[in-house]
Amino acid sequence: MSDRDADLNSFLDRAIGDLGAAMSAVLVCIGDELGFYRELARGPLTPLELATRTGTAERCVREWLANQAAGGYVEFEPAFDRYSLSAAQAACLTGPGGSYDLPGAYRVVEDFFKVKQRALEAYRTGERLHWDEHQPSLFEGAERFLGATYRNHLLNDWLPALDGLVDKLKAGAAAADIGCGLGTSTLMMAQAFPGSEFVGIDSSPAAIETARLRAREHGLNNVRFVVGDAATYQEGEFDFVAFLNSLNSMQDPVACVRHSFHQLRRDGHALIVEPRAGDRVEDNLNPVGRMFYAASAMVSVPNALAADGLKIGAQAGERALEEVLVEEGGFTRLRRVFDTPLSMVLEARP
């Protein structure tokens, strides 16, 4: 075989793998919605047993299981015609409460195809593709995927890593969650620190309405949600501001950071969580970078179009964030306090 043929076959192998993954994305969503993963996590099942437990068609279930086994998402025992989930698979596929919520991320993929036409227009014209033009699956999926990380790390690791912040929140502080989306992180903090006052700020009226409904359902009196621009909101002085996976999609991140800096007390804290990334494109040519570049190309950067200012995207790297936060945004101290496989966590101080 010639080198040319070897290169062709190698690329084709990768592309077929990607194509199979893309075609299987909807099957992950189906398995999530029909409860297949949750049942398989309870123990090995034949296709008929899984279909019976979930009230579904056995022939379709059999094909779904074969697809998932081929992709390494479920385990197969040929001798018994049974399928199951390993501990690692269950931790990632059984939905809210797991270490990661991968089916939530696959809901985001649903949105990408549905907004393709608008994305094409944004690419051709430079006209902004606003958050509110996306499908509900984007917000629901992002909340599920990111929410799993917040449940595992926000209260246990990230807030304690900020010098003295937890003591301030226990004593009673004023805090803002900038770009709060559906309010998952804001509500978590409000529940954990009932003596502090929290405000969630987001430019999406639909997201804020959902967040307000959830606050009422939780019976929380120390949190409120407002529709606002991250660069102009006027909600008072704060001891703590958070940008949780939100800075990368803001139209003018420098203006947003500078405004929050002026809203922050001189002994205050800023928590910045962004997708984990290196400073150069070549540092991010890996599966994590590929995923976040896709999110950036379909959501973050199109949302930031039609405005002046730096558009950092979802793979900015620590150096670009330092430029936004310190060199342009007004903060004087920045340190990296925590990493997860998918996130980097920074603290900025005035």
In a structure prediction context, what are the per-residue pLDDT tens digits for the chain, which is 350 residues long?
787 888 999 999 999 999 999 999 999 999 999 999 999 999 999 999 999 999 999 999 999 999 999 999 999 999 999 999 999 999 999 987 778 999 999 999 999 999 999 999 999 998 989 888 999 999 899 999 999 999 999 999 999 999 999 999 999 999 999 999 999 999 999 999 999 999 999 988 989 999 999 999 999 999 999 999 999 998 889 999 999 999 988 888 999 999 999 999 999 999 999 999 999 999 999 999 999 999 999 998 888 885 665 668 788 899 999 999 999 999 999 999 999 999 999 999 99
Report residue 268 CA to chain centroid gap: 26
Q: Which of 62, 94, 126 is the last residue of a domain?
A: 94
Q: In the prediction, which pLDDT does 249 show?
A: 83
156 and 21, same domain (yes or no): no
74 and 109 both lie in a single domain? no
175, 199 contact by CB (below 8 A):
yes
Same domain, 336 and 231: yes
53 and 164 in a single domain? The answer is: no
Instruction: Give the domain CATH number at 24.
Output: 1.10.10.10
CA distances from 63 to 48, 67, 348 (A): 12, 6, 51
pLDDT score, position 306: 59
Same structural domain for residues 185 and 89?
A: no
- 19 and 120 in a single domain? The answer is no
Residue 98 pLDDT: 78
Query: Are residues 124 and 151 located together in one domain of the fold?
Result: yes
The residue among 27, 62, 94 that closes a domain is 94
Q: Is the residue at 164 inside a domain?
A: yes
Angle at which helix 136-153 crosses helix 184-192, to 10 degrees, equals 30
Give the number of domains in the chain. Answer: 2
Please tell me the predicted confidence (pLDDT) of residue 200: 97
| CATH number where 332 lies | 3.40.50.150
Same domain, 39 and 116: no
Domain identity same for 321 and 215: yes
Whether 110 is in a domain gets the answer yes
The verdict on residue 59 lying in a domain is: yes
Which amino acid type is present at position 137? S
Ranges of beta strands (E only) in the chain are: 75-77, 82-84, 174-178, 197-202, 223-227, 238-244, 264-275, 333-339, 343-349
Burial class (CB in 10 A: 0-12, 13-18, 19+), 62: middle
Residues 204 and 75 in one domain: no
Q: Which domain holds residue 327?
A: 104-349
**Position 99 in a domain:** no
Residues 88 and 108 in one domain: no
Q: What is the pLDDT of residue 78?
A: 97
In-domain check, residue 35: yes
Check residue 308 and give its pLDDT.
Answer: 60
Give the C-alpha separation, 27 to 41, whole Å. 17
Clarify whether residues 11 and 72 are in a common domain.
yes
Domain termination site, one of 94, 129, 153 = 94
Query: Is residue 128 domain-resident?
Result: yes
**What does the DSSP 8-state code read for residue 158?**
I
In a domain, 220, yes or no: yes
Whether residue 140 is contained in a domain is answered as: yes
Going by C-alpha positions, the residue among 291, 260, 256, 297 that lies closest to residue 277 is 291
